[in-house]
Structure 1
Amino acid sequence: MTKTTINRPAAAMPWGLLLAALSGVAQAASTVPTPPAPPSTASAAIQACRGSSQWLAGAAKSDITGPMVDSSTGYTEPGITMNGLQTRLYARGFVLESPCSGQRVAYVNAELLHTYQSIKTGVIRKLAAKLPGVYSDANVMIVGTHDHSAPSNTSFRTLYNLANGVIGFDDLNYNIVVDGIVDTIVRAHNARRPATLALAKGTVANAAFNRSLPAYQANPDAADYSSNVDTTMTLLKMTGADGQPIGAISWFGVHGTSLDKDAHVVDGDNKGQAALRLEKTVGGNFVAAFSNAPLGDVSPNQPDPANPGGDFLRPHNLDSSLSAYDDARVHGERQYAVALNLFNTATSAITGGLFYKHQFVEFQNIPVSPAYTGGATGAATCTAAIGAAFVSGTEEGGTKLIASLKEGSLTYQGIPINPLIPPALQKCQAEKQVLLPVGDVSGFWVSNIPWVDTIVPFQVFAIGNLGLVASSFEQTTMSGRRLRNALKPTLAVMGVNDIVVPTIANAYHQYLTTREEYAVQNYEGGFTHFGPWSSAAFIEHADIVARALVTGGSLSAGPTPPDLLSAQVVHTPIETWGVVNDEPPSGKNFGDVVTDAAASYAMGNNRVSVTFWSAHPRTAQIRQREGAVPAGFSYLEVQRWNGSAWERFATDGDPYTRFLWQRVGGSLSAQSQVTVQWDLDLAPPGTYRLVHNGVAKKWGLLGPTYVNFSGASRSFKVQ
C-alpha cells in the first residue's frame, strides 16, 4: 500500500507542540494500557454453566427503508440528497437465550448510517409496551452498519441533523427505523427454538485499506502487527436442533462507503449487498447479518498510487466495465465469499452460559487512571468538541469545506482555526484545533442542550466463550486492538477466548483514536469528541463493566439519556410541508411511459432503462404506514412471461434493479418522473417487461385524495 503523505503548514508543528505542553498532561513514551490484574475467579453462576451447549435462538428480518427522496445521504455535505433506491435496507435481529443461566439477549444489525441514541431510546420505549419486562437497555444491542447510502436525519441531537444534505429531523424515517427494529426483535423472540452455536474465523483479502496511515504509524505498538488493518472476519453460526440453519452474524471492520456521494441512491452498501447474497445462497428463512468491527480508519476503497494522500479509488475507477452503482456489490462479494466459507466450515462449538452487563457513563470531563494511559497522570476526557480536521474531509471523497486545509494541519495559514475557543477547553483538547464546542453550546446557541450525546453506553455480552464489547464510537484499528487486548485477561476468567467489538452500537459518539493517533490530528482525531484520552477512558470503563460481569458484581445504571423526541423543533422541509401535490402533464397519466425499452437486449453486462411519469415516492411510504398500501409494496417489478401470464421476477429489493426519481419543471413543480433500471448481469434468456408502481397525492376542494397507479414498459427479449 502506498503511504499517505501529510501536509503541514510551516507554523503548524510549533503550535501543536505548544498546545501539548500547555495541556498539563504528562505523556508517557507509550500510552498502551496496562490494566490491573484480572479478577481471580468468576461468579458461581458462570462456573455452573461451563461446558453447557444448550441454546435457544431465533432470527428475523424487517424492512427499515426510509425516505429515498429529499433525504440526506451519509456524506455530510450540504445539498447532497437521495433521489432513488437500489436495495432496500433491513434490520436483522437475533434473540439468544441460555437455559443454564436463564438470561436472554437481543442483537440487531441495522443498515443505518449511525445508531443514534434516539434510535435505541425509541426501540426500548416501544419494546416495553410489546414485551413488558423482557428487554431493556442492558440486554438489547443495536449495531449500525455505518451505511453512507442510508437516509439520515433521525438523531435527537442538532449536530447530526444540521451537518447533512438537508437540515432537520425526519419523523417518517425515525419511525420506520424504530418500528422495524422493534418488529424484528419481537419476531426473533417469538421464533426462538433449541439451537447450537458455532464460531469460525477467516481472512478477508483486498477488502480493507487504512485511510489514515500517518496516524496509525505513530502508534508505538504498530510494529506488533503484520497489517495496518484487521483483516479477520469472525462469524457466529446458529443452527436449529433439527439441522436447519437459523442465521449467522459476522463481524468485519470497514466503512460503508463503497458507493460515493454522487450515487444518490439508498443501498445497503457492501454489508447489505453481502447479506442479501448469503441469504439467497442459504435460502429459506435464514438471516445473515454483516456487522461492523473497529472501522474508524478503514476504507473499502483503495489508495491511488498516482495520487498519495488523494481520494481513494472505487471499483468503477479501476474497471471501466463497471458503473458507480456496482461498487457496493463488488465490495460486498468479498465479504460474502469469506462468510459463506466460514458458515460452511464453522465447527468450534460455543459453550457456557449467557451473561450481560450495561452501564451509562457521562463521558465529559472524567478522570482516566494511569493504568489505562500507559502511566500518564492527570489525564481526563474533555467537553465534547469538533476539531478543524473535520472540514478537511477524508480520502473517501466526502466533504472538503476548506479545500486548502489538509488532514494533520494544526493551524490554517499559521493561525489558530477558532481563536474564540475558551483556553481551558483548547488546553484539554491538546493538539486538536477546536472548531466548535458541541458538548457545551450555551455560549452560542438558543438552548443549552448539547449538540451531541455525551452519555456513553457501555455494554458487554458473554455468549458462552464469545465476548461482545459494544462501542458507540467509530474506533480505529489500533484503538480496537488495545481494547480487546486490555479486556482479554479480564474476560478469560469466565472462559471467553474470543472478543469482538461491534461498533456504532446503541448510540453514536463519532471517532475513537489512540493518544498517538489523536496527536496527528487527521480527520479521525479531529472528530474524536472527548479529547486525547478518549480511547483510554473508554477502555477503562469497558473493563469496569467486564469485571462486574465476570464477578457478578453490581453496577449503578448511570444517567439515563434523555428522550428528546418531543423536543425536536426543526424538521426537514419535506417533513414540514409534506408532498403538496402530484400532477402529470396535460394529456398524460401517472404510470405512462416517457422513454421505453428496446425490443431486445443481449445477455450479460447490459442495462434496461425505462422512464415513467410518476409521483413523489414519500406518499407511498406514508400510506403504507397507514395501512392503505400492502406490506409487500414495491416501486418496481421486473416481470417475466411464463407462457401464459406475467410473473414477478425481481423487485426494488433486488441488487440489480434501480429506482431513480426526479422533479420535472423546477423545485415547485408537481410533475415528476421515475426511471426504472435493470442490470442484466445474471438474467436468463426470456421475455420481460418493467413495471412501475406508485401512489400520487392530489389536492381537491375537500383536501387530498390518493391515486394508486401502475405502468408497464413494452415487452422485450433478453437473448
Structure 2
Amino acid sequence: MYQVGWDKQQIKITPKGYAMFGYGQWSHRAYRQRTALYARSVSMVDQHSNRLLICCLDLGCITHAIRSQTVAQLTQILDSQFDENQLLLMATHTHSGPGGCAHEALYNIPTPGFVPEHLTAIVEAIVQSIQNAMASEQDTEILIGTQAFPAQTPVAWNRSIKAYNRNPEVQPRTEAATHLALNREMQLIGFYREQKLQSFISLFGVHATCLGNSLNAYGGDNKGYAAAFSEQALTEQGVQNPVTIFAQATAGDVSPHFHGKDQLKIRNKIKGEQQYQYAQQNGRYQSDLALTALQQQMSANLKNVEGEIDAVLSYVDLGNIEIPAALAYGQAGARTSQPCHGTAFFAGTPVDGAGAPKPLIKGLQFLAGQLRKHKLKNPAAADFMAYQQLYASQGPKQIVLEAGAKKILGQPIGFAPGMLDPLIAEMKRQVNAGAIEQSPLVPSVVPLQIIRLGTLALVCCPGEFTTIAGQRVVDIVQQTLAAQAATENVWFASYCNDYMGYVTTYEEYQEQAYEGGHTLFGQWTLAACQSKFKELAEQLLLEKNKRHYDAMTRPQAISAQELTKRTNHGNVKTAVSQGEAV
C-alpha cells in the first residue's frame, strides 16, 4: 500500500497573440482559449517515505527553464521532503499550447521571443498542483497493466514508413498498413481506493496534432480531451476530484492522421471546427481504452505494485559523447556532434505540419551540398578537421543550421536576408539586438532519468523518440536491470524534463525524413542515449550510498542581459511588426 494524492491546476495564460509552440509557424497564433490547459500532478509515497512526484502539463514540451524554476520553488517550500531526482515533469505535446517558455533562443523565434509571464504561470500551476497532491495523500493501491488498441481503431498511424521499414527488427509495412507500424499498446498505472478506480496515468505515443496550424486558440488536443472525458466519467461514478494523466510514449513517428494513399487529400477535408471534433474522437478512443482496461480490476492484465520508490537523474552533454563500438555497429571513434538541423527539418512533415515551400527546400539542399563539398575539399583549411568530424557525426544530413556554432549554411546566423521568411527576420532582429551572442540556440545538456515504482521502471526521455528508437532504449535498460529480479516491467515516457528535438534509430536517420533532419546530434544520437541510460540503470542497481554518477552537471546559465533583450514584455504586436519589417 502506498500513500497517493493527486490534483490539477489550470495554467492561467491569457491569449495575447503570441505564437503557439509546436508547428514553428509564424502565423500560428493564439487569440482565444478553446479548452483549459492544466498541470496534472500525482504524489506517491512508499512505506520508507520515499516520494515520487509526477506532473504532466498540457504543453508542447518541458524546458529547462520550467524544470529549474520548479525545482527551485519546491526546494524552498518542501526543504528536506524534496528530492529533485524523484520529480518527473512531462508534456502532452499539444501543438496548441503557449510558446516562449524556454531560455534557449531557437524554438522561441516564432513566439516571438521569451515570454516570462508564460513561464511564471506554468511554474505556479505545477507547484500548486504538487502541493495539493501531497496534501491529499491517502492509502491507495497501485495497479499496472497494458491494453492494446484493436487494429481497426483509427487512433494512430506511422508518418515515416520508409524510415521505419529500414529497421532490421521490424516487419516491413506497406503504405496501406501504417497503422500497424507503431506500438499500439497503452501502458497504465491505476490508483484505487476501496477497490475502486480513482485516478490513473496513461502512456501511449501519438502526436497531439489533431488541431492544425491554421487554428488560433489554445487547446489540449487529443490528450487534453482524453483526460477531460476520463475525469468526467469517474466523476459521474462518484469519484471526488479525479485526475487522469494522458502522457506520451514513443510518439516521434506516430501521427493521429491517416498516412497512406491520398493522405493529404484526406487530411485537408478536416477543416475548421471539424478539427476539434477529430481531436475529441481521438481522445475518446484513448479514454475509453484506459477506462475499460483499468475498471476490470480482477483482470489478469492488471498487477499489484509493491516495493520501494527510487530514481536516478543525470544531465548529459549529448553534443559530445563517444559511442561504444558495440552500439556503433563495430565502428571505432563514432561520436555525437554539436546540434545541427537539416533540410528535412525545415521541410516539416507532409500531413502533420508542412514547413518551408518546396522551391526553398530545393535551394537549401543544393546550398548544403555545395557547402559540404567546399568544407571537405581543402585539408589545409583551418576548419577542415572540425567539419570532417561534424559531417562524420551528422552523416547524410544536409546541414542548414549549425545550432551549436550559430551558423546558417556556414555563415553567421544574422547573414540570411530577412525578406525570405518572417522567422529569419525575427532571428536577424534578435541577432542585431545582441540577444543571442552567448546564449545557446537549443539545449545540448539534457536530463536523463529512470524511476522505479516497485516492480516498474520508467525510462524518462527528453525529446521525441520514434517507435523503434524508444524500444531500443527500453531493451538496453531491461537487459541491464535483469540482474535485479525485482524489476518486472520497463516502460518508456517521452517529452520529459526538457526538449532536444528528435531521436531516430541509425537506420531511420539514413532516410533523412523530418524526424532524422530534427535528430540534432547526428546519426549516433540514439546510441548515445542507449549508452547513457545503460550507465544510469547500472547505478539504479546499486544501494544509494554506493552510487557514483554525475548528479552535478547542469546547463550553463543563460545570460540575463541577453534574455532581457529577447523578451517582449507582453508587447507582441510590436515584436511581430518589427520581425516582419526587418
User: Would you say same fold, with TM above 0.5?
Assistant: yes
Matched-pair contact (CA < 8 Å) for 2:114–2:568: no
Match of 1:607 in 2: none
1:199 paired with 2:140, answer no
Residues 68-127 of structure 1: CA deviation (Å, up to 9, x unaligned): 231212211113211211110001101111114x42110111110111111101111111
Letter in 2 for 1:58: G
Hey, what's the Cα distance between the residues in 2 that align with 1:120 and 1:71?
Answer: 22
1:292 shift after superposition: 0.2
Matched-pair contact (CA < 8 Å) for 2:506–2:523: yes
Call closer, same or farther: CA 1:174–1:430 in 2, change over 3 Å: same
Match of 2:521 in 1: 530
Please report the RMSD computed on the Cα atoms of aligned residues, expressed in angstroms.
Answer: 2.8
Match of 2:338 in 1: 383
Match of 1:646 in 2: none
Matched-pair contact (CA < 8 Å) for 2:368–2:398: no
Hey, what's the Cα distance between the residues in 1 that align with 2:456 and 2:479?
Answer: 14
Call closer, same or farther: CA 1:569–1:417 in 2, change over 3 Å: farther
Give the alignment partner of residue 298 of structure 1, picking from 226, 247, 254: 254
Hey, what's the Cα distance between the residues in 1 that align with 2:348 and 2:18?
Answer: 21
Match of 2:76 in 1: 129
Match of 1:401 in 2: 356
Match of 1:316 in 2: 270
Matched-pair contact (CA < 8 Å) for 1:304–1:313: no
1:177 paired with 2:177, answer no
Letter in 2 for 1:231: R
1:293 shift after superposition: 0.3
1:554 shift after superposition: 2.6
Hey, what's the Cα distance between the residues in 2 that align with 1:365 and 1:106?
Answer: 31
Alignment of 1:5-16 (within 5 A): none
Letter in 1 for 2:459: V
SS of residue in 1 equivalent to 2:164? helix
Hey, what's the Cα distance between the residues in 2 that align with 1:577 and 1:466?
Answer: 45
Hey, what's the Cα distance between the residues in 2 that align with 1:435 and 1:513?
Answer: 19
1:569 paired with 2:564, answer yes
Call closer, same or farther: CA 1:352–1:224 in 2, change over 3 Å: farther
Hey, what's the Cα distance between the residues in 2 that align with 1:450 and 1:541?
Answer: 23
SS of residue in 1 equivalent to 2:98? coil
Letter in 1 for 2:26: P
Hey, what's the Cα distance between the residues in 1 that align with 2:569 and 2:87?
Answer: 32
Give the alignment partner of residue 17 of structure 2, picking from 70, 73, 85: 70
1:459 paired with 2:449, answer yes
SS of residue in 1 equivalent to 2:349? coil
1:58 paired with 2:5, answer yes
Residues 120-176 of structure 1: CA deviation (Å, up to 9, x unaligned): 0111111112111332431101001111011111110110111x2x31111111111
Hey, what's the Cα distance between the residues in 2 that align with 1:414 and 1:152?
Answer: 29
Hey, what's the Cα distance between the residues in 2 that align with 1:430 and 1:188?
Answer: 47
Alignment of 1:142-153 (within 5 A): 142-153=89-100
Hey, what's the Cα distance between the residues in 1 that align with 2:456 and 2:478?
Answer: 11
1:233 shift after superposition: 0.2
1:417 shift after superposition: 6.8
Give the alignment partner of residue 85 of structure 2, picking from 134, 138, 153: 138
SS of residue in 2 equivalent to 1:575? coil
Call closer, same or farther: CA 1:315–1:506 in 2, change over 3 Å: farther
1:510 paired with 2:501, answer yes
1:439 paired with 2:394, answer no
SS of residue in 1 equivalent to 2:84? coil
Hey, what's the Cα distance between the residues in 2 that align with 1:570 and 1:470?
Answer: 33
Percent identical pairs in the alignment equals 26
Matched-pair contact (CA < 8 Å) for 2:191–2:200: yes
Give the alignment partner of residue 289 of structure 2, picking from 338, 342, 347: 338
Matched-pair contact (CA < 8 Å) for 1:278–1:340: yes
Letter in 1 for 2:94: D
Call closer, same or farther: CA 1:147–1:311 in 2, change over 3 Å: farther
Match of 1:238 in 2: 191
Match of 1:427 in 2: 392
Hey, what's the Cα distance between the residues in 2 that align with 1:197 and 1:374?
Answer: 41
SS of residue in 2 equivalent to 1:504? coil
Match of 2:426 in 1: none
> Larger Cα Rg: Structure 1 or Structure 2?
1
Matched-pair contact (CA < 8 Å) for 2:311–2:449: yes
Alignment of 1:666-705 (within 5 A): none
- Unmatched segments (≥5 aa) in structure 1: 1-53, 580-666, 668-719
Match of 1:271 in 2: 223
- Unmatched segments (≥5 aa) in structure 2: 376-382, 414-430, 578-582
Give the alignment partner of residue 38 of structure 2, picking from 90, 94, 114: 90
Letter in 2 for 1:189: M
SS of residue in 2 equivalent to 1:524? helix
Call closer, same or farther: CA 1:436–1:304 in 2, change over 3 Å: same
When the two structures are aligned, how many residues end up with a matched partner? Answer: 520
Letter in 2 for 1:373: A
TM-score, normalised relative to structure 1: 0.68
1:201 shift after superposition: 0.9
Hey, what's the Cα distance between the residues in 2 that align with 1:154 and 1:516?
Answer: 33
Hey, what's the Cα distance between the residues in 2 that align with 1:311 and 1:56?
Answer: 51
Match of 1:219 in 2: 167
Matched-pair contact (CA < 8 Å) for 1:304–1:311: no
Matched-pair contact (CA < 8 Å) for 1:169–1:570: no
Matched-pair contact (CA < 8 Å) for 2:364–2:400: no
Matched-pair contact (CA < 8 Å) for 1:94–1:106: yes
1:436 shift after superposition: 0.9
Q: Which has the higher helix share?
A: 2
SS of residue in 2 equivalent to 1:488? helix
Hey, what's the Cα distance between the residues in 1 that align with 2:266 and 2:328?
Answer: 33
SS of residue in 1 equivalent to 2:212? coil
Tell me which moved more, 116-125 or 563-572.
563-572
Residues 350-397 of structure 1: CA deviation (Å, up to 9, x unaligned): 122111111111221210112223333221111111111111110334
1:554 paired with 2:548, answer yes
Call closer, same or farther: CA 1:542–1:577 in 2, change over 3 Å: closer
Alignment of 1:606-617 (within 5 A): none
SS of residue in 2 equivalent to 1:130? helix
Give the alignment partner of residue 187 of structure 1, picking from 132, 135, 153: 132
Letter in 2 for 1:247: S
Letter in 1 for 2:45: E
TM-score, normalised relative to structure 2: 0.84
Matched-pair contact (CA < 8 Å) for 2:15–2:33: yes
Hey, what's the Cα distance between the residues in 1 that align with 2:371 and 2:288?
Answer: 46
1:490 shift after superposition: 1.8
Match of 2:29 in 1: 81
Call closer, same or farther: CA 1:396–1:551 in 2, change over 3 Å: same
Hey, what's the Cα distance between the residues in 2 that align with 1:389 and 1:313?
Answer: 21
Match of 1:288 in 2: 244
Hey, what's the Cα distance between the residues in 2 that align with 1:400 and 1:374?
Answer: 33
1:479 paired with 2:430, answer no
Matched-pair contact (CA < 8 Å) for 1:426–1:433: no
Hey, what's the Cα distance between the residues in 1 that align with 2:569 and 2:260?
Answer: 39
SS of residue in 2 equivalent to 1:132? helix
